[in-house]
Structure 1
């Protein structure tokens, strides 16, 4: 059964690891699909952080849009898929890295991870996407 707007937005707002898909921009290649952390608040835009010169970052810049899908398998199979245009790309900040890391890591691990990632991951960007097309279902709700 399809989720209501409120259910799908709330589900997307939970800290799932997403599968991001974007046109690979390469002849004869399927879309590039990779796991990624993301940030989203119900009713708003979502954002991801990635390397400015990463394959994913370059593909998103060229395509101007991407898709993400989050799911769970217990207590029921449920997923939300969202696709939309890139509305902003800006340099990452340590504060945004802390925000997104806090969403996924235990509080006592965040500071050490941010210190490591800020030094080791190279130049990062934050890419904002406006959710435009949604697919969702809960297979346990039937």
Structure 2
């Protein structure tokens, strides 16, 4: 059964690892990779990626991307959201810390942020406005 707007936005706001998909190069399928993301109901989705990454290059070319998140317990549930990029900006250490705190235990955040900021190269934040949603909870059928 499809989720209500409130249910799908609440589910997307939980800290799941998403599958990001974006149109690929000519002759190839879409690039689909796991990624951390941030979202608050009613707002924009944002991701962080390397400035010179294939992901960022393809997102810039396509002007949009999709995220799909799912879970298996307590019921099989998924949300897929797709939409246009609304902006890209250089990432800040504060944004990196926010993202890391969403996914990592509190005791590991500082070490991860320090390592990532020094070793992952220049990062950008890409924002997307959710435009198209597909969702279901298969435990409610």
* TM-score normalised to structure 1 length: 0.99
Identify the residue that residue 82 of structure 1 maps to in structure 2: 81
| Runs of 4+ that moved beyond 3 A | none
Structure 1 CA distance for aligned equivalents of residues 10 and 28 of structure 2: 33
SS of 1:74's equivalent? Answer: coil
1:38 to 2:46 alignment: no
Unaligned runs of 5+ in 2: none
SS of 1:71's equivalent? Answer: strand
Structure 1 CA distance for aligned equivalents of residues 119 and 17 of structure 2: 21
Q: CA deviation at 1:62?
A: 0.6
Identify the residue that residue 66 of structure 1 maps to in structure 2: 65
- How many residues matched? 141
Unaligned runs of 5+ in 1: none
Identify the residue that residue 91 of structure 2 maps to in structure 1: 92
Identify the residue that residue 139 of structure 2 maps to in structure 1: 140
SS of 2:130's equivalent? Answer: coil
Structure 1 CA distance for aligned equivalents of residues 45 and 106 of structure 2: 22
Structure 2 CA distance for aligned equivalents of residues 74 and 27 of structure 1: 38
Q: CA deviation at 1:136?
A: 0.1
SS of 2:98's equivalent? Answer: helix
Structure 2 CA distance for aligned equivalents of residues 127 and 69 of structure 1: 16
Q: CA deviation at 1:28?
A: 1.2
Identify the residue that residue 127 of structure 2 maps to in structure 1: 128
Deviations 1:60-105 (A, max 9, x none): 0110000000000011100000000000100000000000000000
Identify the residue that residue 22 of structure 1 maps to in structure 2: 22
* TM-score normalised to structure 2 length: 0.99
Q: CA deviation at 1:140?
A: 0.1
Q: CA deviation at 1:16?
A: 0.1
Identify the residue that residue 8 of structure 1 maps to in structure 2: 8
